[in-house]
Structure 1
């Protein structure tokens, strides 16, 4: 609607001023300035006694030629102010000011925000002049206003090429997909006719940042974080999108969104916020270019809570189409978006919330207590929806994690048996669920030491999780264990390179890369990757142990001992110290470290004891320990095929037989 439609002949334009009542003292100078400059200003102080507040306010808001919003620490939390700003944005007549330096909330940052926090209220000041310039520019449509206000459709699209768009693309989707292209005149037509090209290997890079929790309840953070993670998972299935993996690294602490985007090397950011109560949810999302800050798309959804799944799908589809439009035809964009369909999910909000709580606990990774708490949430999700495949897969994952930490063999076997059943159920419900195959592969390899049976599931996961860095990392790690499988080891090296490209700020990714380099005997790369991992997360477990092994293999026992002493996992620290002290000729210290390893861990440390004995040139003792570990199904044996610490045993017939039984 043209702003002239809001002004009758001979009258002044109506300006609607939106603010928080708590900010009235700071709002009055703005109101006085506008009125003194000849504008008709509506603000809630003009309401007469007995008037219907809602009807009068809505009428003024709809008839205003310009909506002036005064953002502050108070008003950003006001639903009324946000709603009024939203309507101004939708109508393309929003002028945002900040009266205390507070940034506009997500969904409104595509508009230039005028900071008047230092204004003294004088009409002759520079700040007053800027306010009037901003208002008059919006009324007159002068340059500087956004060409396509977020939430308002762009100008009509140019005529389409003869090829009809895919039926999967609605008109609304095509319009949203054209954001950023329609303004260049003929852009859509050129895109459809292939002028820009659409190489099959082309991909658009992006990252989904954690959504802000604006519920006012810190305990609801799991929901906003979970929604962002689910969007990331969905978008990562799109072959035309290169979605950076999530990271909780200290490397991004204190960084703004654009700095994070640049560190991740992506072109676009999807960010947002979530408000909710027991019945309704409001999700605000915006897609922003890292360079230049252009808002490609922004929307706010106010829905019943049970509609959160539809909101999730709509955001993912719209984001994908608006990005893929840069490199693909309509039909290709639609086909790519179709790959994003939710897999293994649920339509039960209660089950979904339990799943998100479980995943938040899983992400903490704080030990057995949080693992068991996560398991309880996944169990709750399954109780609410027995066909929730993703919940079954995560249940299997948690059971395996708890089994890995257990020392009682009967409990370990029972936990792994339950994990097997849960993973098989996940795959039966949804064969395309990568996490189900990874969970079952893990049980078969770690719990049963049956690498041959696990291999098909990791191969399936590799195909199904092509865009998921965490999934690829799990597959790469499995491949790296195989000895005599040169193709798998090379694939592991390639895959971990892809993971690091997608996830360059994740300490765990660099740790996995370091271990893969260790199995490849590239000791310089081991140290480089592990030091990078520790720079990102100084408390990361087992990274110093890998550095100690690499230093030992390089012949630098003194440096190995230094690394061993700062390793956070006691069993690994004792193992490396026992070997390094022996290399340095300190037999007493070496024996003391080994004795403590045996005393503290017993049969739970059989593999580590074998590593020490192999390095002490005691092959018969080391082989006996490995046989005992095999009988106990010690998951440490997964390293056997490529562990450089066991190299002194490789010529032994008994060792070769063990490798054959392990399927390495």
Structure 2
């Protein structure tokens, strides 16, 4: 297959484009921020299910609001025709929400309405706002009458509140303590409503994150198996939820190395999630890793349209380009990601590995020194130093990797050994990584550092065992 070429398209204001800004918390209590932010996020999700709308994703909406621009300027930056803003106030046992739809061309209000509901009807507010917006824009709501149930929603206000608190903590990704606290919120949401599919999906993502940072292989496997069970339950309860299928695909692929089994849920997530940037980006990464480059390009370009100010989306674009051999283009996309978030993890290493693939080790070494993650920095440094003839420095980078990460860095050790032309040692290390379920193996089919191994029978067998081929 020939290389997929990414082209920039001119910016235009989409007539059906809507950006939902984070709602303001008017309660005067910062501990209620999760409620206003969570409610606006849920409104955004409901609107995104309507295929007639182009709804900008959460990260870009949050980023643009921080710039303190006028409505017309925000609309132009996000290429949308409408801005939805609002505020939330919780008073005793009643929730007060004010929402306003602003014309992005004029900056004037097109529609506004206030909603006052008992707190136990909180979960219905986002549907009411989304319905009013689609009606004002004279756009048919193509969701079925029982949409909430199909998407794994809840009508239990207490469960919904726990879910919003968990999402707020999970998104913050502060440390292990906060990750465990987020999981506890999701567990309580499920206790209050066992049929709450979205909470099961959130629980699966939380367990996967905990597995990724576990200090033992056995503990990680337990987290991953719990994540798989939760994701399967989310799909069962939310058969129309793109996020549920995407989460299941992610757990099967990244956490359990079940490459072929992940395809069906990922494909279903793509069918259902045309309006959800994070779903499209996950699908694109899977498609690229399995060498379905045209599908990956379509998905990641759509994700970039929906979330143009999200650094992780641009990093995903870079990965698709890197996987398909477009190394220069990949560097540009990851640099764009870093311009949006200079602390974005593993991004400098991604640029460094692309430079190594281009045969530019000096530049690779310079950029690798900026990488904070030792696990992904070490292969870049070790291979670049070897290319430059400094074998002592290369060996030091390998030893640093082993000392810091042990068997958790087996895939990265194999990358280095392959880059040093020590093919048999690299193959032996990859086999050990397979036995331990190293998630780095998800890159094996497209990783240019493993090119010296590709014609070896042992490597071909590895790909077959993983069911890449």
Q: Which runs of 5+ in 1 are unaligned?
A: 1-201
Of the three residues 144, 152, 156, the one matched with 1:348 is 156
Q: Is the contact between residue 240 and residue 336 of structure 1 (CA under 8 Å) also seen in structure 2?
A: no
Q: Is the contact between residue 123 and residue 156 of structure 2 (CA under 8 Å) also seen in structure 1?
A: no
Query: Is residue 25 of structure 2 the alignment partner of residue 213 of structure 1?
Result: yes
Q: Is the contact between residue 382 and residue 395 of structure 2 (CA under 8 Å) also seen in structure 1?
A: yes
Post-superposition shift, 1:257? 4.8
- Partner in structure 2 of residue 160 of structure 1: none
TM-score by length of 2: 0.93
C-alpha distance in 1, partners of 2:88/2:170?
22
Gap change, CA 1:278 and 1:634, over 3 Å in 2:
farther
Q: Which runs of 5+ in 2 are unaligned?
A: 1-13
C-alpha distance in 2, partners of 1:538/1:503?
18
C-alpha distance in 1, partners of 2:87/2:74?
17
- Partner in structure 1 of residue 8 of structure 2: none
Of the three residues 431, 441, 445, the one matched with 1:637 is 441
C-alpha distance in 1, partners of 2:66/2:97?
24
C-alpha distance in 2, partners of 1:322/1:340?
20
Post-superposition shift, 1:250? 5.6
| Structure 1 residues 2-81: aligned runs within 5 Å | none
| Structure 1 residues 529-540: aligned runs within 5 Å | 529-540=333-344
- Partner in structure 2 of residue 267 of structure 1: 81
Gap change, CA 1:626 and 1:368, over 3 Å in 2:
same
Post-superposition shift, 1:275? 0.4
| Structure 1 residues 352-391: aligned runs within 5 Å | 352-391=160-199
| Structure 1 residues 255-404: aligned runs within 5 Å | 255-258=68-71, 259-323=73-137, 325=138, 333-335=140-142, 341=148, 343-404=151-212
Post-superposition shift, 1:237? 0.5
C-alpha distance in 1, partners of 2:449/2:64?
33
| Structure 1 residues 147-226: aligned runs within 5 Å | 204-226=16-38
- Partner in structure 2 of residue 555 of structure 1: 359
Post-superposition shift, 1:320? 1.2
Post-superposition shift, 1:358? 0.6
TM-score by length of 1: 0.66
Post-superposition shift, 1:238? 0.4
C-alpha distance in 1, partners of 2:176/2:70?
33
- Partner in structure 2 of residue 68 of structure 1: none
Post-superposition shift, 1:303? 2.1
Any idea what the Cα deviations from partners look like across 1:567-624, whole Å, max 9, x if unmatched?
Answer: 1211111221111111111111111111111111110000000000111001001000
Gap change, CA 1:257 and 1:233, over 3 Å in 2:
farther
Gap change, CA 1:394 and 1:294, over 3 Å in 2:
same
SS in structure 2 at match of 1:524:
helix
Any idea what the Cα deviations from partners look like across 1:182-203, whole Å, max 9, x if unmatched?
Answer: xxxxxxxxxxxxxxxxxxxx96
Post-superposition shift, 1:547? 0.4
- Partner in structure 1 of residue 273 of structure 2: 465
Any idea what the Cα deviations from partners look like across 1:469-519, whole Å, max 9, x if unmatched?
Answer: 111111111111114xxxx22101111011111111000000111111110
Q: Which protein is bigger by CA-based radius of gyration?
A: 1
Q: Is the contact between residue 394 and residue 435 of structure 1 (CA under 8 Å) also seen in structure 2?
A: no
Gap change, CA 1:618 and 1:560, over 3 Å in 2:
same
Any idea what the Cα deviations from partners look like across 1:76-135, whole Å, max 9, x if unmatched?
Answer: xxxxxxxxxxxxxxxxxxxxxxxxxxxxxxxxxxxxxxxxxxxxxxxxxxxxxxxxxxxx
Query: Is residue 39 of structure 2 the alignment partner of residue 227 of structure 1?
Result: yes
- Partner in structure 2 of residue 142 of structure 1: none
- Partner in structure 2 of residue 573 of structure 1: 377
Post-superposition shift, 1:335? 3.8
Post-superposition shift, 1:548? 0.1
Any idea what the Cα deviations from partners look like across 1:121-164, whole Å, max 9, x if unmatched?
Answer: xxxxxxxxxxxxxxxxxxxxxxxxxxxxxxxxxxxxxxxxxxxx
Q: Is the contact between residue 355 and residue 377 of structure 1 (CA under 8 Å) also seen in structure 2?
A: yes
Q: Is the contact between residue 207 and residue 243 of structure 1 (CA under 8 Å) also seen in structure 2?
A: yes
Q: Is the contact between residue 238 and residue 337 of structure 1 (CA under 8 Å) also seen in structure 2?
A: no
C-alpha distance in 2, partners of 1:425/1:305?
27
- Partner in structure 1 of residue 405 of structure 2: 601
Q: Is the contact between residue 250 and residue 537 of structure 1 (CA under 8 Å) also seen in structure 2?
A: no
C-alpha distance in 2, partners of 1:560/1:339?
53
Q: Is the contact between residue 234 and residue 340 of structure 1 (CA under 8 Å) also seen in structure 2?
A: no
- Partner in structure 2 of residue 241 of structure 1: 53
Any idea what the Cα deviations from partners look like across 1:59-78, whole Å, max 9, x if unmatched?
Answer: xxxxxxxxxxxxxxxxxxxx
Q: Is the contact between residue 101 and residue 110 of structure 2 (CA under 8 Å) also seen in structure 1?
A: yes
SS in structure 2 at match of 1:293:
coil
Q: Is the contact between residue 203 and residue 240 of structure 1 (CA under 8 Å) also seen in structure 2?
A: no
Of the three residues 617, 630, 636, the one matched with 2:421 is 617
Gap change, CA 1:335 and 1:556, over 3 Å in 2:
closer
Q: Is the contact between residue 238 and residue 340 of structure 1 (CA under 8 Å) also seen in structure 2?
A: no
Q: Is the contact between residue 21 and residue 65 of structure 2 (CA under 8 Å) also seen in structure 1?
A: no
Gap change, CA 1:601 and 1:293, over 3 Å in 2:
same
- Partner in structure 2 of residue 145 of structure 1: none
Query: Is residue 61 of structure 2 the alignment partner of residue 253 of structure 1?
Result: no
C-alpha distance in 2, partners of 1:277/1:467?
34
Would you identify which runs of 4 or more consecutive aligned residues in structure 1 move more than 6 Å? none
Which segment is superposed worse, 366-375 or 383-392? 366-375
SS in structure 2 at match of 1:366:
coil
Post-superposition shift, 1:443? 2.0
Q: Is the contact between residue 120 and residue 158 of structure 2 (CA under 8 Å) also seen in structure 1?
A: no
- Partner in structure 2 of residue 42 of structure 1: none
The structure whose residues are more often helix, as a share, is 2
C-alpha distance in 2, partners of 1:316/1:373?
30
Any idea what the Cα deviations from partners look like across 1:221-268, whole Å, max 9, x if unmatched?
Answer: 000000000000000000110001111676653332523322111110
C-alpha distance in 2, partners of 1:214/1:458?
39
Q: CA RMSD in A?
A: 1.7
- Partner in structure 1 of residue 4 of structure 2: none
